[in-house]
């Protein structure tokens, strides 16, 4: 009894000490009242290490990455941190985590509404035509107490507050507002100083990513999160579309924050006060040329021109050339290699996304009577297991591969000095690079019967518009199987097969539309409808084009 009593007492004391220590470890103590350029550089280093681990496939989820040595604060977290973020949460989550670890101020927009520029009723603030505005903020502050101060609980903020308040609509703002209800981000200049690890990219089609690396040749690489907590990486291309400036698409940096009117307590932490943000006029990296071009046009934002070294280029080439270290130029062969590598990464990431539907069992369920109101922005099983947005970005990537290849060949024929190629047959050499990369990009998926099917990038290109985004289809159709042997294990009934056939109009569409009704029944989905589907897929035949140019 005495031994048991002593053990119980020891366990009680130990658990009490653990609870006290864990409570202290969850406190968010602001010890540095202002974000400085040094902090921004350190935040970039923090993101860069995580991105490098994702690129090397050393980790592939928010939790596994932050609970590994890729996280420079590995081993310092209190028990109970959930380590979860989807695409819109990820930049906020990483920013908040870094601020907590470094005793820095943190604030997020807590409430938003459509901006006054929206003249029609808005159904979804994630897709407002003219963007949003902040109407309320949540600040991480220490409360002054009579006997002791109350420090914010970091776990509560990161586990609940950040995912509860932030979503892609939080970024759908121009960043022009210089008010107390400031925007979380500001648009950056197009320069290597402004666009760097830690910079966020906002796609107005509802996707968010954070940059972790910029190569010497100006290529921008990012990581992004997904509802299943997975992390993927990619390269900035036309997958991230431009849109009207009020939507705030493109490159954004977090506004530096400062805690003012606070007092230092006995522990050395700041208590009380309020958080203010740097105004646009105080930000040396603020810029709007990504919206209006280097040479704006009074006819409209989209008419603005991007001029680099006296030559007009498109926006994406302008970004790359502006971020290049040393003399800026375009190497068509390197372009081909980089773009195919980026597509390969997206295809391999799709394997995991689609297989999740198979292992979850959703692909064996009966198909709902109607599609979601909008297949690109919804919730529930469709949000978790469907891939229309992911597949649309993949289609845009193949389109960009063909478009950029055609442009590089035409520029070479015009003897454009920006094109660097010393060979004798550009089309042949481009074909050789594509063929080698396409063959090297090998991946596989598991059929409904458990068999492994091997594919490569060229096979994926040929069946791209046959790949179903619908989570209720068998995995064979999710990968566009067309030969009987591969399709034999698909257990979809006649109703599901009809859905697959009639969704072809939607699979042909590469543009993500959020303003169109899509909740059609099978009987109503008889062909392209307003804003929903197109009759024929676009041309992505890079092989046929290059062969025609030899």
DSSP string for 501-514: HHTHHHHT--S--S
pLDDT of residue 16: 45
Angle at 402 between CA 432 and CA 205, to 5 degrees: 135
DSSP 488: T
DSSP string for 204-259: TTTEEEEEEEE-TTS-EEEEEE-TTSBEEEEE-STTS----GGG--EEEEEPPEEE
Q: Is the pTM of this model over 0.85?
A: yes
- Interval 345-373 mean pLDDT: 93
- Interval 125-136 mean pLDDT: 94
pLDDT of residue 379: 79
Q: What is the pLDDT of residues 238-253, one digit of tens each?
A: 999 999 999 999 999 9
Q: What is the pLDDT of residues 26-46, one digit of tens each?
A: 999 999 999 999 999 999 999
Q: Is 96 helix (H, G, I), strand (E, B) or coil?
A: helix
Q: What is the pLDDT of residues 410-457, one digit of tens each?
A: 999 999 888 999 999 999 999 999 999 999 999 999 999 999 999 999
φ/ψ of 490, rounded to 5, equals -70, 130
User: What does the mean pLDDT of the chain come to?
Assistant: 92
Cβ-based neighbour number of residue 437 at 10 Å: 20
Q: Check residues 185 and 485 and name the one with the higher pLDDT.
A: 185
pLDDT of residue 348: 94
pLDDT of residue 458: 98
Q: Is the pLDDT of residue 2 over 60?
A: no
Cα Dmax for the chain: 94
359 burial type by CB count under 10 A (0-12 exposed, 13-18 middle, 19+ buried): exposed
Q: Is the pLDDT of residue 262 over 70?
A: yes
Which helix (DSSP H) or strand (DSSP E) does residue 213 occupy?
strand 207-214
Tokens of 376: 């690109």
């Amino acid at each position: 009894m005495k031994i048991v009593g002593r053990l119980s007492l020891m366990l009680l004391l130990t658990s009490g000490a653990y609870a006290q220590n864990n409570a202290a470890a969850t406190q968010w103590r602001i010890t540095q009242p202002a974000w400085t350029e040094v902090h921004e550089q350190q935040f970039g280093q923090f993101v860069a290490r995580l991105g490098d681990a994702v690129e090397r496939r050393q980790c592939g989820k928010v939790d596994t990455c932050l609970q590994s040595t890729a996280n420079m604060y590995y081993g310092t977290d209190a028990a109970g941190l959930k380590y979860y973020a989807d695409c819109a949460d990820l930049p906020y989550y990483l920013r908040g985590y870094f601020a907590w670890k470094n005793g820095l101020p943190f604030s997020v927009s807590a409430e938003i509404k459509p901006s006054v520029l929206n003249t029609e009723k808005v159904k979804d603030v994630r897709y407002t035509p003219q963007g949003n505005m902040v109407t309320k903020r949540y600040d991480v502050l220490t409360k002054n107490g009579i006997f002791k101060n109350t420090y914010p609980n970091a776990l509560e903020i990161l586990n609940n507050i950040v995912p509860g308040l932030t979503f892609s609509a939080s970024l759908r703002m121009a960043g022009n507002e210089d008010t107390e209800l400031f925007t979380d981000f500001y648009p950056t200049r197009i320069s290597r100083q402004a666009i760097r690890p830690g910079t966020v990219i906002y796609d107005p089609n509802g996707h968010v990513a954070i940059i972790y690396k910029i190569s010497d040749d100006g290529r921008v690489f990012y990581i992004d999160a997904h509802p299943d907590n997975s992390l993927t990486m990619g390269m900035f291309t036309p997958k991230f579309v431009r849109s009207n400036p009020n939507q705030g698409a493109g490159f954004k940096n977090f506004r530096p924050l400062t805690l003012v009117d606070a007092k230092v307590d006995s522990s050395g932490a700041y208590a009380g006060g309020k958080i203010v943000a740097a105004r646009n006029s105080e930000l040396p990296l603020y810029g709007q040329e990504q919206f209006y071009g280097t040479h704006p046009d009074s006819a409209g934002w989209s008419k603005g021109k991007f001029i680099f070294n006296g030559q007009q280029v498109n926006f994406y080439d302008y970004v790359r050339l502006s971020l290049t270290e040393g003399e800026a130029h375009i190497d068509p062969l390197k372009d081909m290699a980089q773009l195919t590598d980026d597509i390969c990464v997206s295809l391999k990431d799709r394997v995991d996304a689609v297989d999740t539907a198979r292992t979850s069992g959703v692909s064996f369920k009966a198909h709902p009577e109607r599609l979601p109101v909008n297949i690109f922005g919804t919730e529930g099983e469709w949000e978790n297991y469907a891939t229309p947005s992911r597949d649309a970005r993949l289609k845009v990537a193949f389109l960009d591969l063909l478009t950029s290849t055609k442009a590089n060949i035409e520029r070479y024929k015009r003897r454009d000095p920006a094109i660097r190629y010393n060979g004798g047959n550009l089309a042949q050499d481009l074909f050789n690079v594509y063929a080698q990369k396409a063959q090297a990009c090998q991946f596989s998926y598991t059929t409904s019967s458990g068999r492994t099917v091997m594919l490569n990038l060229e096979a994926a290109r040929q069946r791209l518009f046959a790949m179903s985004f619908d989570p209720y289809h068998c995995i064979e159709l999710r990968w566009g199987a067309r030969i009987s042997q591969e399709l034999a294990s698909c257990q979809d009934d006649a109703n599901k097969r009809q859905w697959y056939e009639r969704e072809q109009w939607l699979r042909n569409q590469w543009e993500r539309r959020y303003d169109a009704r899509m909740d059609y029944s099978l009987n109503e989905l008889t062909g392209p409808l307003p804003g929903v589907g197109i009759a024929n897929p676009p041309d992505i035949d890079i092989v046929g084009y290059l062969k025609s140019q030899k």
